[in-house]
């Protein structure tokens, strides 16, 4: 790709090649087509549109039309909510924003071209027009970003984004809205880095995201002033523009519902008020502690957790053939079986970089280096660092590698520091199961490991924090005091293991809401809509869809009662 484009001097030719690349690899899957279903059930749909004039006003703020996983689910939600009497509107960026969630450095062979020109000449048309046509075909209102921005507001956004001192951008707020934080998160996602140090064109790219964040803030303020929406539904809830949409809605007292594809196939995570990256940490313990635990639930959980070792029940996994044989693993890693091991699980450096007041360290980089420094003085222990495979196999491969960070800090590592690189086929689950204790920052793998009884130290914003069965760290000093107690030479107590199992069940089976009509594709997007008629989206046809719609329309918890339904199915089968 780079070799083909680099020698080309003719911009028009470069532009043409790049557009073809996007269409082939990024936008190849088509937007969901509702034409046949709407024609087949035209009277039902016409009646729903006519009867929802005074219904609950719901804004589905898709914004990024090229995010096909978003338009697939959100178009289905728009129809399902309309069938339940809601007055639904859609929000799309109409090629307005100078940077956004759809952008990634991998799409731009010449990053300077993006820093100078943004995505408009290469991406925006293919992103906006198909989604606009699809949503308009539903017969519901489609709002566009450009309709809600005045020339004076655009000029102000340009002025602020171009003159604000670079070191002040990440902390910049406008009317109490953390514009700079989301701009930085968007820029880091574009660069796939955990920081922007020593990155060419980082300042220009961050300023481009700041302008987009300001434009989004203005557009949302104006849209909500002119249209009385009571709730906004949109994916992710962070980055640009989604993070700003949420900030403005909360500032104006508009309910927010965020969602993401979950880990299990055909399932999704929804949350009230904020991104699940935040709400899963603060979720009240009593939502799962009261689960009536039994052998059936235990078996169901264990079966799924075992499937996670190879990803057979999930949308995505990172190893086709993970290595489970401990003899081979020991030979590859050089682990000394006679010495206790402490596991350490890293995460992708750039992913969901937000502010969390509970973190023991400023960021994951500082945590990694501080931990290695500590264990380099503990020759009685082995520190086994498993670098996340998503660094190289994720949707957006990271441009900032944990191994590069370590190599920069240490010319040679002590023999008791063992690193398993992201490309290694060593099973993370198998190697961690052999450890005395596992230290995490924000990886979700801790949920699974804790359910097996492994003691977990939480140093960052992992969802296990404050759930009552992990060692939660709030400062660097308490972190090192905790490490001084290692090795523990024991598993968690039976009481805490039960708590961990209940939470894992809650996380994987209750918070991950199933939608059976979303069929896995193994491609982009990871699912497609599979319905026989609009009737399949009616109330009572899908318990998961009912939970989601009740949550949006009435504020109900986004919790799928899997344990109750499982008991009912079991009773029915025994009759």
Q: For every one of its 575 residues, what pLDDT tens digit does the chain have, with 9 covering 90 and above? A: 333 333 334 444 444 455 454 544 444 447 889 999 999 999 999 999 999 989 999 999 999 999 999 999 999 999 999 999 999 999 999 999 999 999 999 888 889 999 999 999 889 999 999 999 999 999 999 999 999 999 999 999 999 999 999 999 999 999 999 999 999 999 999 998 888 888 899 999 999 999 999 999 999 999 999 999 999 999 999 999 999 999 999 999 999 999 999 999 999 999 999 999 889 989 999 999 999 999 999 999 999 999 999 888 998 776 668 899 999 999 999 999 999 999 999 988 777 555 555 578 888 899 999 999 999 999 999 999 999 988 887 778 888 899 999 999 999 999 999 999 999 999 999 999 999 999 999 888 999 999 999 999 999 888 899 999 999 999 999 999 999 999 999 999 999 999 999 999 999 999 999 999 999 988 878 899 999 999 999 999 999 999 999 999 999 999 999 998 765 554 333 33
Per-residue tokens: 45: 């749909």
Structural domain boundaries of the chain? 28-281+521-532, 293-510
For position 397, what pLDDT does the model report? 82
Question: What are the helix (H) ranges across 318-427?
Answer: 326-333, 364-375, 390-393, 402-409
- Which of 226, 196, 227, 225 shows the shortest CA–CA distance to 210? 196
Q: How far apart are CA 132 and CA 97, in angstroms?
A: 16
Per-residue tokens: 487: 């090795």
- CATH number belonging to the domain at 293-510, selected among 3.40.50.2300, 1.10.10.10, 3.90.1150.10, 3.40.50.2000: 3.40.50.2000
Question: What are the helix (H) ranges across 62-176?
Answer: 68-83, 111-117, 124-136, 151-163
| CB-based contact 299:543 (threshold 8 Å) | no
For position 306, what pLDDT does the model report? 95
Q: Which residues of 354-365 are buried (b: 16+ CB within 10 A; e: fewer)?
A: beeebbbbeebb
- Which of 363, 344, 365 shows the shortest CA–CA distance to 354? 363
Per-residue tokens: 527: 């699912």
Q: How far apart are CA 29 and CA 25, in angstroms?
A: 9
- Which of 24, 25, 29 shows the shortest CA–CA distance to 521? 29
For position 28, what pLDDT does the model report? 47
The three-class DSSP label of residue 210 is: helix
For position 5, what pLDDT does the model report? 33
The CA–CA distances, whole Å, from 561 to 227, 287, 362, 374 equal 35, 11, 38, 44
For position 356, what pLDDT does the model report? 58
Per-residue tokens: 344: 């350490």
For position 108, what pLDDT does the model report? 87
Per-residue tokens: 48: 């729903």
User: Would you say the C-alpha torsion 68, 118, 174, 189 has a positive or negative sign?
Assistant: positive
Angle at 405 between CA 473 and CA 345, to 5 degrees: 40
Per-residue tokens: 456: 């977990």
The CA–CA distances, whole Å, from 527 to 63, 102, 136, 523 equal 20, 18, 22, 8
In residues, how long is the chain?
575
Q: Which residue has the tokens 């089976």?
A: 509
Q: What number of CA atoms fall less than 13 Å from residue 527's CA on the CB side?
A: 28
Q: How far apart are CA 297 and CA 291, in angstroms?
A: 10
Q: How far apart are CA 58 and CA 549, in angstroms?
A: 11
293-510 matches 28-281+521-532 in CATH topology: yes
For position 217, what pLDDT does the model report? 98
- Which of 484, 476, 193, 478 shows the shortest CA–CA distance to 362? 476
| CB-based contact 161:74 (threshold 8 Å) | no
Pairing of strands 512-514, 471-472: unpaired
Q: How far apart are CA 448 and CA 454, in angstroms?
A: 9
| CB-based contact 387:419 (threshold 8 Å) | yes
* C-alpha gyration radius of the chain: 24
Domain 28-281+521-532 fold is Rossmann fold (3.40.50)
φ and ψ at 414, to 5 degrees?
A: -60, 155
DSSP string, 288-316: HHT----HHHHHHHHHHHHHHTTTTTBS-
- Residue 383: count of CB within 10 angstroms of its CB: 23
Cis peptide before 487 (omega within 30 of 0): yes
Specify which residues 261 forms β-bridges with.
268
Specify which residues 272 forms β-bridges with.
257
């Amino acid at each position: 790709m780079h070799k083909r484009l680099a020698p080309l001097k003719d911009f028009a030719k470069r532009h043409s090649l790049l557009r073809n690349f996007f269409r082939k690899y990024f936008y190849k899957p088509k937007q969901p087509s509702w034409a046949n279903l709407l024609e087949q059930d035209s009277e039902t749909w016409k009646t729903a549109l006519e009867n929802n004039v005074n219904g609950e006003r719901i804004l589905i703020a898709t914004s990024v039309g090229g995010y096909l996983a978003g338009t697939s689910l959100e178009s289905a939600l728009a129809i399902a909510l309309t069938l339940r009497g809601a007055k639904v509107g859609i929000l799309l960026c109409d090629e307005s924003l100078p940077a956004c969630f759809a952008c990634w450095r991998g799409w731009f062979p010449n990053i300077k071209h993006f820093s100078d020109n943004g995505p408009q000449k290469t991406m925006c048309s293919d992103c906006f027009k198909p989604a606009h046509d699809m949503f308009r075909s539903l017969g519901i209102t489609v709002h566009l970003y450009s309709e809600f921005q005045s020339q004076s507001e655009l000029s102000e956004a340009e002025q602020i984004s171009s003159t604000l001192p670079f070191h002040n951008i990440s902390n910049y707020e406008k009317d109490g809205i953390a514009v700079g934080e989301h701009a930085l998160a968007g820029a880091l996602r574009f660069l796939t880095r955990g920081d922007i140090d020593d990155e060419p064109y980082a300042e220009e790219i961050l300023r481009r995201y700041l302008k987009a964040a300001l434009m989004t803030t203005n557009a949302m303020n104006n849209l909500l002033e002119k249209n009385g929406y009571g709730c906004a539904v949109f994916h992710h809830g962070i980055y640009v523009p989604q993070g700003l949409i949420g900030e403005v809605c909360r500032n104006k007292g508009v309910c927010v519902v965020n969602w993401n594809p979950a880990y299990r196939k055909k399932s999704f995570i929804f949350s009230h008020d904020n991104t699940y990256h935040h709400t899963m940490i603060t979720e009240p313990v009593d939502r799962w502690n009261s689960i009536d635990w039994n052998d059936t639930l235990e078996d169901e959980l264990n079966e799924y957790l075992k499937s996670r070792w190879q990803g057979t029940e999930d949308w995505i996994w990172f190893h086709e053939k993970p290595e489970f044989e401990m003899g081979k693993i020991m030979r590859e890693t050089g682990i000394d079986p006679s010495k206790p091991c402490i596991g350490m699980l890293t995460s992708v450096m750039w992913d969901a970089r937000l502010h969390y007041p509970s973190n023991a360290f400023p960021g994951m980089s500082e945590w990694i280096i501080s931990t290695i420094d500590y264990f380099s003085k503990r020759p009685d222990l082995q520190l086994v660092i498993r670098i996340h495979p998503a660094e190289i196999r994720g949707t957006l491969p990271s441009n900032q590698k944990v191994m590069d960070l370590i190599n920069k800090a240490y010319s040679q590592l002590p023999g008791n520091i063992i690193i398993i690189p992201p490309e290694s086929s060593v099973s993370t689950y198998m190697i961690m199961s052999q450890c005395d204790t596992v230290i995490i920052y924000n990886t979700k793998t801790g949920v699974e490991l804790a359910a097996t009884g492994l003691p977990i130290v939480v140093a960052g914003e992992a969802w296990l924090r404050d759930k009552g069965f992990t060692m939660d760290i709030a400062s660097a000093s308490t972190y090192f005091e905790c490490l001084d107690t290692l090795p523990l030479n024991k598993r968690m107590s039976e009481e805490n293991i039960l708590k961990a199992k209940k939470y894992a069940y809650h996380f994987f089976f209750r918070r991950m809401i199933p939608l059976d009509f979303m069929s896995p594709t193994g491609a982009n997007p990871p699912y497609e809509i599979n319905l026989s008629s609009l009737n399949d989206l009616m109330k009572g046809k899908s318990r998961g869809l009912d939970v989601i719609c009740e949550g949006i329309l009435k504020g109900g918890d986004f919790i799928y009662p899997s344990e109750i339904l499982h008991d009912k199915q079991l009773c029915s089968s025994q009759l």
